[in-house]
């Protein structure tokens, strides 16, 4: 689920990512959420670890359009095939 969510964002299929739970974890409107990826070229998932029945921890690397790299880590909660919660922070 988390992998598909970030693949959709990388593919600029924001509507699909929003439907997979972006609407639950964005904390903003769809338009602002999409605008937030305006300088994101691609997202690559590093470590993904499952814990419990519905929890996932992931590290991701966001390559920006200027070539810089931002690193994020967080916990995701999945229920009924969608992301229902997340706690993500930039680490580098």
User: 8-45 pLDDT, tens per residue?
Assistant: 999 999 999 999 999 999 999 999 999 999 999 999 99
pLDDT (0 to 100) of residue 88 = 93
Give the span between the Cα atoms of 40 and 69, in whole angstroms.
Answer: 9
Give the span between the Cα atoms of 74 and 90, in whole angstroms.
Answer: 9
- Give the start-to-end residue ranges of the domains of the chain: 2-90
CATH domain 2-90 topology = Nuclear Transport Factor 2; Chain: A, (3.10.450)
Give the span between the Cα atoms of 44 and 6, in whole angstroms.
Answer: 8
Q: Is the dihedral of CA 71, 83, 18, 35 positive or negative?
A: negative
């Amino acid at each position: 689920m988390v992998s598909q969510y970030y693949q959709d964002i990388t593919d600029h299929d924001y509507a699909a990512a929003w439907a997979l739970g972006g609407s639950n974890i964005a904390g903003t409107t769809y338009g602002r959420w999409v605008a937030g990826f305006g300088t994101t070229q691609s997202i690559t998932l590093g470590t993904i670890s499952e814990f419990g029945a519905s929890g996932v921890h992931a590290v991701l690397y966001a390559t920006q359009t200027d070539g810089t790299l931002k690193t994020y880590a967080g916990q995701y909660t999945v229920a009924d095939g969608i992301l229902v919660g997340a706690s993500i922070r930039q680490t580098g």
